[in-house]
Structure 1
Amino acid sequence: MKNLTKSHRALAAAAVIALPLGLAACGDDGGGSGGEAKLTLAHSYTEDQPQHTCGAEVIKKGVEDAGVDLTVEIFPASQLGGDADRIASVQSGDIDIDIQGASALAAVYEPVGVLDAAYAFPDADALDNYFTSGAVDQLKEDFKAASDVSILGAWSAGARQFTANEPIREPADLDGLRMRFPGSPQFLLNAKALGAKATEVAYEELYLALQQGVVDGQENPIVNIQATNLVEVQDYLSMSNHQQNSNLIVAGPAYDDLTDEQKSALDDAVADAVEQMPGCVEKAEKEILDGYEAEDSIEIVDDVDTEAFSEQTDAWFRENLEGDSLAVYESIKDSQQ
């Protein structure tokens, strides 16, 4: 997925920059009647990925069906900038709602990135439980205080898996492999905790880097592996499930300017999307994996020693994380007791 050029992003931003200003008329006392307000919702995914079809579109439909004089305009595929650019735009009010990975949000509040720590959550249900049990409340408050951005909800967009030209079944199998990890601090910490040698390569350049042998392997959710055709340049898909690929739904200052009725409609729409996402991701992944097996396009390794990986990463994070980041990690693990 390519971002728009700088000039195109500027034009897109110019088209929506005035929108949040219209929300001020709604007031925040629950009794505003400033007419219809429009929210912009941005994300980096293609229109056929679950984050769009079962995420952004569900939020849009839920809000607009509520009949509270509120509409949502979606800008997919990084049309309004990459992750690092968009969180700044959410803070400034140029984008109202964004779907972001926790690691990208760490640019404005570092401890939130710990949500993406390797094996922090054993599965999508554990992540959902953390966000619905109240255990996340302190993190949400601290994030809001640091960034003036609200976390409305979160889901797992599937577990991240390893691909390489040899199987990865245990931590020792990563020795000597040049594994591509995203360049955000939490992902690089994950590489260390997993025992991998991290090599930074842009997502858009990953296929070519694998094809040319610049890197030996990589890690991504199955839907991303499929979207970039990585099975064409990798021999093994090792089902390590080493990280729940988090998506947080965040909202900037416009959220605080909504009426209580509009806030409730938006909150309910986000909750609906959060509820639907696991089924959508599971269906998409099953279709992809069934296709791989039918076409024999890549060998699927399903006997990965995830317990060995999990024990290793847990010990590493408890020893190396500090302060608020360690507190977040411990709160995640405590929520699973």
Structure 2
Amino acid sequence: MSIRPHRRTRALLSLSVVALLALAACGDDGGDTSPEDGATDAGGAATTDAGATDGATEGGADEGAGGDEEPVELSFANSYPDTHPHNECGAFVVRDTLGEGDSGISIEVFSNSQLGPDAERFTSVASGDIDIDIQGSSAISASFPEIGALDAAYAFEGPDALFEFVDSPAFEDLQERMLEATGVRVLDVWYFGMRHFTANQPIRTSEDFSGLRMRFPDSPQYLANAEALGATAVPVAFEEVYLALQQGTIDGQENPIPTIRDLNLPEVQSHVSLTGHQVGSVLAIVSEDTWQSLSQGQQEALQAAISETRDGDRQCVEDAEAELVQQWQDEGTMEVVEDVDREAFAQQAEEYFMENYSGDQLALYEQIREIANQ
């Protein structure tokens, strides 16, 4: 039996050979690649099968596949550095779990946007050039607009509410609609972290945004979040956030706690306000062409490996959040503002989205809010 490398993987291997020959001839100069906004922007529900075939989560990655599967190598792409929880506690765990089983599946992880930024990678997953990926809802919404509602400000109170929705029939219906519309299958959802604001002053209410230019990612949903919260949004490339703050082009920004650390923002921002205005999440997705090329046992093994990683990945993200906030408080690195009027922000956001969403996006938002408020 021979391994059937994915065509994108074969191309990358060929490129790697060319690159090595070039380095040998020209020296060792190289450069860094910067992650997309979702990469370093980074769930108490019980582990779910998230639409798996029966027995996938009960049997685990080792069962149901048998020992005589034809070996396959799958690419697993993401935007995160190797040290991010979505790799250390996510993609690498999936790779190792499948590698230790007898499903015949081996995973090659392409981290740190090696295979391109989010929007480009989603297109590559849809075409089958990338097998598995991790994508935020806002990035996917360029191809499937309604799913952007998952990233609406204060759509969820916290990760527990997020996973209550993910484990509901409503999310199963969403998965089916997305598969039909895009040819991409959602295997599960991982927690990404709570998004908070930084500035050189506290932000407790929407009035505190007055006169501030706040950086938001340049996507329709994030810009809608800014409007819903009463902020003046300035789209700035992720790689330019630090410099824009340093030069005064913008006055503040919003991101999860680990990203604020990774961008060295405590050097140019004095306050972090724990608004928790968005429960960040990412979707583990697979090309439907890839999925259908797998045997039933391999499908079960892949689904189980992704879903069984969810809780551990969430724990890693939450540990990083708590440790960094405590460190900043203890060392005085940043002033941590906890007395935020989240209730007023949440009410304001809900009123905005109920008035401005329409069609399928409004229907999904209403489902989310109904389940989240139970």
* Deviates further, 310-319 or 268-277: 268-277
The verdict on how the C-alpha distance between 1:320 and 1:251 changes in structure 2, with shifts beyond 3 A counting, is same
Question: CA deviation digits over 1:137-192, x for unaligned, max 9?
Answer: 12111111110000000022110000001100011111221000000111011011
Match for residue 314 of structure 2?
278
- 1:190 and 2:220 correspond: no
Query: Which among 62, 68, 74 is matched to residue 39 of structure 1?
Result: 74
Query: Which among 212, 215, 218 is matched to residue 177 of structure 1?
Result: 212
Query: Percent same amino acid at aligned positions?
Result: 46
The verdict on how the C-alpha distance between 1:272 and 1:34 changes in structure 2, with shifts beyond 3 A counting, is closer
Taking structure 1 as the reference length, what is the TM-score of the superposition? Answer: 0.90
Once the two structures are superposed, the pairs formed by residues 46-61 of structure 1 within 5 Å of their partners are: 46-61=81-96
**What is the aligned length?**
316
Query: Is the Cα contact below 8 Å between 2:213 and 2:233 reproduced in 1?
Result: yes
Query: Which among 122, 135, 138 is matched to residue 170 of structure 2?
Result: 135
The verdict on how the C-alpha distance between 1:142 and 1:318 changes in structure 2, with shifts beyond 3 A counting, is same
Query: Is the Cα contact below 8 Å between 1:135 and 1:335 reproduced in 2?
Result: no
The verdict on how the C-alpha distance between 1:34 and 1:120 changes in structure 2, with shifts beyond 3 A counting, is same
Partners of 1:217 and 1:223 in 2: CA distance: 16
Structure 1 unmatched runs, 5+: 1-10, 18-29
Taking structure 2 as the reference length, what is the TM-score of the superposition? Answer: 0.81
Query: Is the Cα contact below 8 Å between 2:69 and 2:104 reproduced in 1?
Result: no
Which structure is larger by alpha-carbon Rg, 1 or 2?
2
Query: Which among 11, 14, 17 is matched to residue 14 of structure 1?
Result: 11
Once the two structures are superposed, the pairs formed by residues 205-220 of structure 1 within 5 Å of their partners are: 205-220=240-255
Match for residue 69 of structure 1?
104
Instruction: Name segments (4+ residues, structure 1) moved above 3 Å.
Output: 30-34
How far did 1:34 drift?
6.3
Q: Aligned partner of 2:195: which letter?
A: R
Query: Which among 324, 332, 353 is matched to residue 288 of structure 1?
Result: 324
Question: CA deviation digits over 1:253-310, x for unaligned, max 9?
Answer: 2012211111111111111121212211111112211221222111000010100000
- Paired residue secondary structure (1:156): strand
Partners of 2:370 and 2:294 in 1: CA distance: 35
Partners of 1:298 and 1:32 in 2: CA distance: 54
The verdict on how the C-alpha distance between 1:81 and 1:288 changes in structure 2, with shifts beyond 3 A counting, is same
Query: Is the Cα contact below 8 Å between 1:181 and 1:199 reproduced in 2?
Result: yes
Question: CA deviation digits over 1:207-247, x for unaligned, max 9?
Answer: 00000000000000001111111111001000000001111
Match for residue 152 of structure 1?
187
How far did 1:59 drift?
1.4
Partners of 1:169 and 1:276 in 2: CA distance: 32
Match for residue 296 of structure 2?
260
Q: Aligned partner of 2:272: which letter?
A: L
Q: Aligned partner of 2:366: which letter?
A: E
